[in-house]
Amino acid sequence: MKTLTAAALCVAMALGLCYRAEATAAFDLLRQSAVSYTGSLPCGGWDCECAFRRQQSCCCVAQPLFELEEATFIRMVGLWEGLSHLNSQIEELTAGCKIAFTAAMLPMSGCLGPFTSNVSISYQSVSLNQGNGYNPALGIFTAPHAGLYSFSFTAYSSVGRAGQRLYQKAQLMKNGQLMASSWEDNREDSEDSSSQTVLLQLRQGCQVYVELLSGRQLCGDTQGQNTFSGYLVYPVSEL
């Protein structure tokens, strides 16, 4: 019995050795055929040593994948630099651009004017002055930043009783140039008001103000209804 078992084991080992020898021979033949192949390969220069000895990696596409990874990384770096530059431009453009103001004339029972020359109106009751562009002592707004601005003013006057002459004219000025105006000249009503709103392109340092025209007057504003306001719609780098 022992003799038979030993014989069977010897036969199995011999068969295993033969199978391994045949497999090795077949593998060597396959390798030799690949090395000696002279036609074109689907992925260029196939590394046969890699393909036949290190099967855990895809040697055929390793180099193209590496090149793609490098190109993608370089592109991502370029995109990041572009975004950083754009972010810096946006921060530079919008820095300190919360600009808005609104002010009214102090209540009065008498009249402002008439004067012998045009006079800028001083709106001294300031309720908002973001960006500190408005000077209440002079009634002048100086643009802290270049951009598109919106300005509004209301001219109100009450002469007290019917039959008296309502004689007012206020005008919005930009660096001494007339932009908009509001006026009234009649004896038919004793009280009147009107408003104007304009959009202006301003450079940094441009000045905007409302002036009372020579010979005209604003009267009876007991509730601060003469107002002047403005705000930055959007900034620009420079005009």
pLDDT tens for 33-52 read 655 656 655 555 555 555 55
Spatial separation of the C-alpha atoms in residues 113 and 127, rounded to whole Å: 25
Q: Where do we find the tokens 């709106």?
A: 123
pLDDT tens column, 131-167: 999 999 999 999 998 999 999 999 998 887 776 778 8
Residue 34: inside a domain: no
Is the predicted pLDDT of residue 90 greater than 80, yes or no? no
CATH number assigned to the domain comprising residue 228:
2.60.120.40
Tell me the mean pLDDT in the region 175-202.
Answer: 88
Is the predicted pLDDT of residue 2 greater than 50, yes or no? no
Q: Give the domain-ending residue among 58, 74, 95.
A: 95
Residues of the domain holding 54:
42-95
Per-residue confidence band for 7, with pLDDT thresholds at 50, 70 and 90: very low
Question: What is the tally of structural domains in the chain?
Answer: 2
Q: Give the domain-ending residue among 59, 76, 95.
A: 95
Residue 27: inside a domain: no
pLDDT tens column, 106-128: 998 888 888 999 999 999 999 99
- 106 in the same domain as 213: yes
**∠ Cα 149 207 125 (to 5°):** 85
Spatial separation of the C-alpha atoms in residues 69 and 64, rounded to whole Å: 9
Q: Of 137, 146, 191, which is closest to residue 164 (Cα–Cα)?
A: 191
- 112 in the same domain as 229: yes
Query: Long-range contacts for 47-56 (Cβ within 8 Å, ≥24 apart)?
Result: 52/27
Q: Euclidean distance between the first and final Cα of the chain, in Å?
A: 109
Is the predicted pLDDT of residue 71 greater than 80, yes or no? yes
Q: Are 185 and 166 in contact (CB under 8 A)?
A: yes
Spatial separation of the C-alpha atoms in residues 173 and 205, rounded to whole Å: 14
Whether the CA torsion 236, 175, 151, 142 is positive or negative: it is positive
